[in-house]
């Protein structure tokens, strides 16, 4: 194969990977989940379960006049967002499929299951 053909093929592969990458990014969504009245709220409704896609981000936003500390001990996605006050939000990217249990360190009654498809 000539140098020119190799070069052309490399360009084609680069374009293909760029297209695949940008498509994946475009499909990843950011979903807002509020903490309100010591519950998880999505689109104005209290929820205990939420289904998202691999690569999606959840933005946890505190709408209560007191602190929340959202965390998960699930093997799939372990995180601890620390204490944050009203009006602040923190994001978590869910990069593997499975089930993640989300809790609040300050309010044991707060619980939500995130299914990542
Ligand atoms: Cu809380």
Dump pLDDT digits (tens) for 52-81.
Answer: 999 999 999 999 999 999 999 999 999 999
Beta partners for 7? none
Query: What does the pLDDT read at residue 43?
Result: 96
CA of 64 to the centre of ligand 1 (A): 9
**Beta bridge partner(s), residue 39:** 36
The answer, yes or no, to whether residue 26 has pLDDT greater than 60, is no
Ligand 1 centroid from CA 15, angstroms: 46
Q: What's the rounded mean pLDDT across residues 24-39?
A: 88
β-partners of residue 71 are: 80, 103
Give the residue among 91, 98, 84 at the shortest CA–CA distance from 30: 91
Q: Where residue 27 falls among pLDDT bands split at 50, 70, 90? A: confident
Ligand 1 centroid – CA 24 distance (Å)? 33
CA of 58 to the centre of ligand 1 (A): 16
Cα distances (Å, whole numbers) of residue 13 to 8, 80, 110: 9, 40, 48
The answer to whether 99 and 74 are in contact (CB under 8 A) is yes
Mean pLDDT of the chain, nearest integer: 88
Q: How far apart are CA 62 and CA 37, in angstroms?
A: 10
Q: How far apart are CA 55 and CA 70, in angstroms?
A: 19
Give backbone dihedrals phi and psi of 13, rounded to 5 degrees, phi first: -65, -40
Q: From the CA of 29, how far away is ligand 1's center (Å)? A: 24
Q: Class for domain 28-116, per CATH?
A: mainly beta
Does the pLDDT at position 13 exceed 70?
A: no
17 pLDDT higher than 60: no
Q: Are strands 49-52 and 111-116 parallel, antiparallel or unpaired?
A: parallel
């Amino acid at each position: 194969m000539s140098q020119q053909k190799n070069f052309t093929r490399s360009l084609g592969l680069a374009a293909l990977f760029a297209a695949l990458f940008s498509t994946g990014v475009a499909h990843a969504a950011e979903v807002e989940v509020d903490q309100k009245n010591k519950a998880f709220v999505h689109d104005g409704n209290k929820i205990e379960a939420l289904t998202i896609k691999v690569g999606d981000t959840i933005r946890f936003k505190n709408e209560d006049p007191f602190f929340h500390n959202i965390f998960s001990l699930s093997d799939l996605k372990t995180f601890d967002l620390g204490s944050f006050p009203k009006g602040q939000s923190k994001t978590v990217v869910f990069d593997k499929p499975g089930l993640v249990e989300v809790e609040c360190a300050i309010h044991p009654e707060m619980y939500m299951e995130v299914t990542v498809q």
